[in-house]
C-alpha cells in the first residue's frame, strides 16, 4: 500500500467542485453571491470552509450569526463525515458543481452534533485512527508514536499536505514482516438512509429493517471494504 504513491496521491488530491449558497431566508443586509470551492474529498467541511463563513457573514447582521451548518437538498451535512463520503452518499449522481446551502440559524439539533472548534474534528479523527490501529496492530503503532507524530498526522490533514501526512501515516499502513498482511482490516459501513453508521471491529454487520445479519470478514474477503488510510468513502 505504501509503495503505491501515485495512487495515494490521486486519492489525496481528489477534489469536488462545489457551489455554496446562503439560505435565502437568512439574507438581511445585501444579496450574497455564491461562493465556489474545490473541496478535498479526504478532508472535513469544518476544516475547509473558513472562507465560506467569512464570505456570507457580510450579508448578515452580526446578531444573526450563530453556528454555521450546511445542507444538501434538505439533508443536513454531518461535519464528522469526510467530504468525499458525503458527496458519494448524497450527490454522486448529480451534476457538478455540488450545490450546498449555508445556514447560520435554526441549527438542526436532532440531526447534527455541534462542532465548537476544529479541536472537535481533531479528536474525532484521532479516535478513528486509534480504533483502526487497535485492529491492525493491536494499538502498538499508534501508542508508540510521540505526541508530535500525532500532531503532524493531524496538521498534514488539516493543511492538505500530502507528504507531511503520509510521513506518519505510512507507519499505520505497514504490517509486520513475518506476516503476509493484516489479519483484520478496519472498515465502516455507511447507510444512505438516515446517514447512520455501523462499525464493528473485524466483522461486517448490515441492517435491513429490524433484521440484523452478521458474519465474520477475514482480511482475504475484505476487497469490498475501504481501509482506514484516513479516508472512509
pLDDT score for 109: 94
pLDDT score for 127: 94
pLDDT band at residue 199 using 50, 70 and 90 as cut-offs: very low
pLDDT(24) > 80: yes
190-198 long-range contacts, CB within 8 A, separation 24+: 190/81, 190/85, 190/89, 190/232, 192/89, 192/90, 195/75, 195/78, 195/81, 195/89
pLDDT(81) > 60: yes
pLDDT(3) > 50: yes
Work out the average pLDDT over 86-108. 94
| Count of beta carbons in the 10 Å neighbourhood of residue 25 | 9
Question: What three-state secondary structure class fits 216?
Answer: strand
Residue whose C-alpha is closest to residue 218's, from 170, 176, 181, 189 = 181
Beta strand 75-76 with 98-103 is unpaired
pLDDT band at residue 207 using 50, 70 and 90 as cut-offs: very low
Greatest distance between any 2 Cα atoms in the chain:
65
pLDDT score for 217: 35
pLDDT(58) > 70: yes
For 224-233, how does the pLDDT look when each residue is reduced to its tens digit (9 = 90+)? 333 333 333 3
Of the listed ranges 8-17, 115-124, 191-200, the least confidently predicted one is: 191-200
Residue 83, phi-psi category: left (phi > 0), alpha (psi -120 to 50), beta (remainder): alpha
Burial of 185 (0-12, 13-18, 19+ CB in 10 A): buried
Q: What percent of the chain has pLDDT over 90?
A: 56
Work out the average pLDDT over 91-96. 93
pLDDT score for 108: 94
Sheet (strand 98-103) strand order: 35-40, 15-22, 98-103, 69-72, 75-76
Q: Which grid coordinates are listed for 13? A: 488530491
pLDDT(203) > 50: no
Q: Which grid coordinates are listed for 221? A: 474477503
| Beta strands, E only, the chain | 15-22, 35-40, 69-72, 75-76, 98-103, 189-190, 197-198, 203-208, 211-216
Amino acid at each position: 500500500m505504501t509503495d503505491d504513491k501515485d495512487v495515494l496521491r490521486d486519492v489525496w488530491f481528489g477534489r469536488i467542485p462545489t457551489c455554496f449558497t446562503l439560505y435565502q431566508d437568512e439574507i438581511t443586509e445585501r444579496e450574497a453571491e455564491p461562493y465556489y470551492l474545490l473541496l478535498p474529498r479526504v478532508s472535513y467541511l469544518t476544516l475547509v470552509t473558513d472562507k465560506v463563513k467569512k464570505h456570507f457573514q457580510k450579508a448578515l447582521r452580526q446578531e444573526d450569526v450563530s453556528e454555521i451548518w450546511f445542507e444538501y437538498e434538505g439533508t443536513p451535512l454531518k461535519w464528522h463525515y469526510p467530504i468525499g463520503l458525503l458527496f458519494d452518499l448524497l450527490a454522486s449522481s448529480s451534476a457538478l458543481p455540488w450545490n450546498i446551502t449555508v445556514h447560520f440559524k435554526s441549527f438542526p439539533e436532532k440531526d447534527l452534533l455541534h462542532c465548537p472548534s476544529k479541536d472537535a474534528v481533531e479528536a474525532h479523527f484521532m479516535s478513528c485512527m486509534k480504533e483502526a490501529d487497535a485492529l491492525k496492530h493491536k494499538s502498538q503503532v499508534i501508542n508508540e508514536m510521540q505526541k508530535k507524530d500525532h500532531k503532524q498526522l493531524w496538521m498534514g490533514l488539516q493543511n492538505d499536505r500530502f507528504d507531511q501526512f503520509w510521513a506518519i501515516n505510512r507507519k499505520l499502513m505497514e504490517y509486520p514482516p513475518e506476516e503476509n498482511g493484516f489479519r483484520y482490516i478496519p472498515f465502516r459501513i455507511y447507510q444512505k438512509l438516515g446517514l447512520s453508521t455501523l462499525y464493528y471491529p473485524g466483522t461486517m454487520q448490515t441492517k435491513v429493517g429490524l433484521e440484523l445479519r452478521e458474519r465474520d470478514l477475514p482480511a482475504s474477503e475484505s476487497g469490498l471494504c475501504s481501509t482506514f488510510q484516513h479516508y472512509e468513502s
